Amino acid sequence: MPEPQSNHIYEMIQVPETTGVRFFTDIDHGSYFPSHWHDAIEIIYMVQGELDITVESAAFRLLEGQCFLINSCVIHSTKCTTPNIGIVFQIPMDFIRLYIPDVQQLRFVLDDPSPDPIRQTKLNRFKETLRQMQIADDIRPDGYVLRFNSLLFEILFQLYHNFSVKVFQANLNQRTKDLNRLNEILSYTARNYDRPISIDEISRVAFLEAGYFCRFFKKHMGLTFLEYQNELRLSRIYQDLITTEDTLQQILERHGFTNYKLFRRMFAEHFQATPSQVRKKSKNSLDLHGKA
């Protein structure tokens, strides 16, 4: 789902004072957002279409009718290559801590769909609550805040009782340390992605020996640093393809992708289409559905 493009992977969640959370229905005509994280749990419910999600080094495809949860401070990316509609629900950890004081010791797991019929019943109830929140958010009836907040607390109750597992403090401390290091690496890369960054250079940023850095990065990101640089460039190129009229050569030069043969191969692997086909498809989608 669309996230703000920036040179930092940390996303600050802006929430209204009336609810303390961010909830919206998103119509996505095409997007590709590289690794980022936020101090909030994020729930995505796919109303129509599908969405590719990568959480750390694991890839998932969220299908119509399915729900997915990304825990706080977990690095993730999303890719939408065909139009979709989804509910996006972000709950800041500061808000959750007010009502679930031990939330730092918890990890939420949805696993939708589930082979366990009892758990699937709980998942269906959870998704129905999200749909009721969407109705309230769309219609905004008198007393909307009361209705929305009652459903919000129902969601928190269900998460706490049906979809939470304990995590060990030692694991949590190491995860925080690793995340801080990754944040430095990825933020630096995002600021300098349009030029070559050597392993020696980025290793110094991370205060790691070059060999250890390569193992650390591959373990946590699921790809090499060079592969990540090209993924980041590709995400920016994709965004410019569907939002500007610039030529492909202008876009490639802007984002530092100098190996045209590699670009064509990566683009085809990610989108199963050529850049011109993606641009045409995006324009047709906007013409058909309107610029929502």
Q: What is the CATH number of the domain that holds 151?
A: 2.60.120.10
CA distances from 200 to 17, 142, 205, 207, 257 (A): 46, 60, 9, 10, 20
Asked which of 98, 131, 166 is the last residue of a domain, the reply is 166
Inform me whether the pLDDT recorded for 38 exceeds 70: yes
Q: Could you tell me the pLDDT band of residue 4, with boundaries at 50, 70 and 90? A: very low
Report the share of the chain in percent with pLDDT over 70.
Answer: 92
- Two tokens, residue 44: 């995505």
Which candidate, 257, 126, 242, 146, places its Cα nearest to that of 193? Answer: 257
- Top-confidence residue, 265 or 169: 265
The verdict on residue 46 lying in a domain is yes
* Alpha-carbon radius of gyration of the chain: 20
Assess if residue 181 is contained within a domain. Answer: yes
| Of 110-124, 226-240, 271-285, the least confident | 271-285
Residue 49 has pLDDT above 70, yes or no: yes
Domains identified in the chain, total number: 2
| Alpha carbon 169 to chain centroid, angstroms | 25
- d(C-alpha 18, C-alpha 16), whole Å: 5
Angle at CA of residue 61, ends 192 and 113, nearest 5°: 140
DSSP-assigned beta bridge partners for residue 26? 86
CATH of the domain at 220: 1.10.10.60
Q: Find out whether 212 and 191 touch, Cβ atoms under 8 Å.
A: no
Containing domain of residue 113, as a range? Answer: 22-166
